[in-house]
């Protein structure tokens, strides 16, 4: 079976539509959270995700934009965007955001888990091998997907060996794929990257496909109409910074 794994869509409809159009065939879709916040199309993006995702875990922006947490830990721009988003949401979409489960979710038919932040704390950022060590050792599953950092790649361990994994792409243009062949006995913590607001200096929308029969996780980058996403943000009256960062990938 093949799972399409999406994280940190952040209400970027242009990026999400490009991913849907360009993603290879798959059987299920896993959403790792932060469907909304920052971008200008929260309802349209939720409508998409609700219609096809088989796993949905909540992100910190999903909680903030639906009033489940206070905005005191958010910076001014993120808090402004969260308030704006909450005002835009339909009642139905607001309720959908509020009922999302905290990770880790455990998909059927896969030796895998899905979280937003760390497996042990949904709000914790997993950036270094030090951050990855405990969650990876505590997880009951072998392949563990996470988001939150907006950085595509991850970590692997077999016995005492540790590896930090970062997909290598030839360019910053066009659609590209980077296959990671999973090693028998190794355990993985993998981030598909952010669909709607990448922060690894590559502006293209990021996602991953996990093929459990082939034992491969493929990382993808696909181009999208970033100018459209930027003008929607400007027209919505959201902070300019949220538009500008999209073309810089940070
Ligand atoms: Zn996020």
Q: What is the pLDDT of residues 205-241, one digit of tens each?
A: 999 999 999 999 999 999 999 999 999 999 999 999 9
Please state whether beta strands 216-222 and 161-165 pair in parallel, antiparallel, or not at all (unpaired): unpaired
Q: How far is the CA of 151 from the centre of ligand 1 (A)?
A: 10
Residue 159 CA to ligand 1 centre (angstroms): 31
Distance 57 CA to ligand 1 centre (A): 12
Tell me the CA–centroid distance for residue 210 and ligand 1, in Å: 21
The average confidence (pLDDT) of the chain is 96
Cα–ligand 1 centroid distance for 18 (angstroms): 19
Contact by Cβ (8 Å): 126, 146 = yes
Structure confidence at residue 73 as a pLDDT band (50, 70, 90): confident
CA of residue 179 to ligand 1 center, whole Å: 24
> Ligand 1 center to residue 178 CA distance, Å?
22
Q: What is the Å distance from ligand 1's center to 193 Cα?
A: 10
**In percent, how much of the chain has pLDDT > 90?**
95
Q: How far, in Å, from the CA of 91 to the mean position of ligand 1?
A: 22
Beta bridge partners of 53: none
192 confidence band (pLDDT: 50, 70, 90)? very high
């Amino acid at each position: 079976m093949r799972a399409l794994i999406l994280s940190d869509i952040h209400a970027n409809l242009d990026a999400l539509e490009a991913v849907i159009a360009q993603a290879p065939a798959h059987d299920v879709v896993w959403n790792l959270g932060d469907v909304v916040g920052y971008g200008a199309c929260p309802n349209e993006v939720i409508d998409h995700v609700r219609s096809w995702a088989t796993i949905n875990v909540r992100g910190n922006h999903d909680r903030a934009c639906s009033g489940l947490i206070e905005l005191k830990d958010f910076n001014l721009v993120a808090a402004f965007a969260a308030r704006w988003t909450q005002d835009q949401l339909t009642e139905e979409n607001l309720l959908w955001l509020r009922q999302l489960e905290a990770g880790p979710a455990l998909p059927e038919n896969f030796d895998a888990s899905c979280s937003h932040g760390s497996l042990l704390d949904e709000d914790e950022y997993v950036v270094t091998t030090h951050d990855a060590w405990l969650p990876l050792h505590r997880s009951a599953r072998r392949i563990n997907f996470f988001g939150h950092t907006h950085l595509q790649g991850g970590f692997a361990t077999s016995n005492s060996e540790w590896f930090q994994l970062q997909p290598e792409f030839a360019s910053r243009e066009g659609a590209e794929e980077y296959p990671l062949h999973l090693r028998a006995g190794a355990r993985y913590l993998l981030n598909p990257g952010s669909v709607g607001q990448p922060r690894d200096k590559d502006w293209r929308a990021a996602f991953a496909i996990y093929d459990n029969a082939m034992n491969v996780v493929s990382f993808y980058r696909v181009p999208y109409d970033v100018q459209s996403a930027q003008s929607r943000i400007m027209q919505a009256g959201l902070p300019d910074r949220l538009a500008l960062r999209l073309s810089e990938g940070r």
